[in-house]
Amino acid sequence: MTATPHVLDPQIVEAVRAAQQVMVLSGAGMSAESGVPTFRDAQTGLWEDFDPEDLATPGAWQHDPEFVWAWYAWRIGLVRGVEPNLGHRALAELAQLRPTTIATQNIDDLHERAGSEVLAHLHGSLFRFRCAECGAPYDGAVEVPDKPVERLAPPRCETCGERVRPGVVWFGEDLPLAEFEATVTAIENLSPGDVALVIGTSGVVFPAAGLPAIALAAGATVIEINPQETEISDMAHLHVRAPVAVALPPLVAALRD
Ligand code: APR
């Protein structure tokens, strides 16, 4: 279990080339080069004094739903205004070359916009909404101001009239069960020789942070792609210490040849 500085470590190319299945577990670092800040990055502007871990909670919503909604509206606008990066695009191509399954902790839609199918959004999606009271899905209009605003009234549920909330998983909430179970099953179905790519996650938020261990137990080769060492680095057999948009395109290009 050694750190390798080379993006195109032949062992990594060979591992992916030999795999019958590739499981991708992506986190916020996947979208960093698209311009979406990661969770451990400092926030800027209106939200610079707030830690995402304090805003992304049921307690924050109870306390001040309009402030929390304004933060999500800003993030929706931010994600709409950026593009998938070369890493997202390389994964979409990888799926043409090897059976590839993606489970992401990200609430953006950049994998999909790059052309990938996503098995699971483990922490929900910025583009799904539901009533905070009755749980009814909401697909009505969502206002996204041009500039960040400090407070914004959430839309009202078309069924019960209560506030609509973001369809994301806040700290302390359960993950979407069907998507989490589908992810665990996909990982358990990996065989020795298959590969799990653990991309751009700090590996501190459970239960998602426990998924690489399931891949390891299944006998898969675990490859971490992250410029930094993480809580789960020790678990990986191989490491690419580079950003995704640098690491993934040459890996996929090598498989193409
Ligand atoms: N390429 C690859 N990895 C990167 C890049 C990049 N360009 N830039 C940053 N990273 C890495 C960082 O080194 C870090 O390890 O991405 C990781 C981002 O970590 P977090 O911000 O903690 O993101 P993540 O692990 O997805 O967070 C988990 O925490 O707040 C919650 O629900 C939220 O889904 C999120 C969860």
Q: Which of 54, 173, 201, 248 to mutate to test the pocket of ligand 1 (most atoms within 8 A of CB)?
A: 201
Counting from 1 in the atom list of ligand 1, the atom nearest the Cα of 243 is 1
How do strand 238-240 and strand 2-4 relate by DSSP bridges? parallel
Read off φ and ψ for residue 137, nearest 5 degrees.
Answer: -65, 150
Tokens 């004094």: give the residue: 49
Instruction: Give the E-state strand segments of 30-110 in sequence order.
Output: 100-104
Q: Single out the catalytic residue among 6, 123, 237, 239.
A: 123
The H-or-E segment that residue 65 falls in is helix 65-80
The residue whose CA is least distant from atom 15 of ligand 1 is: 202
Q: Could you give the domains of the chain?
A: 1-34+84-123+175-257 (3.40.50.1220), 37-81+124-168 (3.30.1600.10)
The residue contributing the CA closest to ligand 1 atom 32 is: 123
CA distance 234 to 246: 22
Q: What ligand 1 atom has the least distance to the C-alpha of 122?
A: 34
Taking the centre of ligand 1 as the mean of its atom positions, its distance from the CA of residue 200, in whole angstroms, is 5
CA of 25 to the centre of ligand 1 (A): 11
123 annotated active-site: yes
Whose alpha carbon is nearest atom 25 of ligand 1? Answer: 201
Question: pLDDT tens for residues 4-30?
Answer: 444 579 999 999 999 999 999 999 999
* Strand-pair partners of 131: 164
Residues of the chain with pLDDT under 50: 1-6
- State the virtual CA torsion across 28, 59, 78, 146 in degrees, nearest 10: -170
DSSP state of 28: T
One-letter amino acid at 58 equals P
180 Cα to the center of ligand 1, angstroms: 19
Strands 137-138 and 2-4: unpaired
pLDDT at 39: 84
pLDDT at 131: 98
Cβ < 6 Å from ligand 1: which residues? 27-29, 32-33, 38-40, 52, 56, 105, 123, 200-202, 205, 225-228, 230, 243-244
pTM of the predicted protein model: 0.95
Q: How far, in Å, is the centroid of ligand 1 from the Cα of 27?
A: 5
Q: What is the pLDDT of residue 5?
A: 42
Which residue's C-alpha comes closest to atom 34 of ligand 1?
105
State how far the Cα of 7 lies from the Cα of 136, in Å rounded to an integer: 46
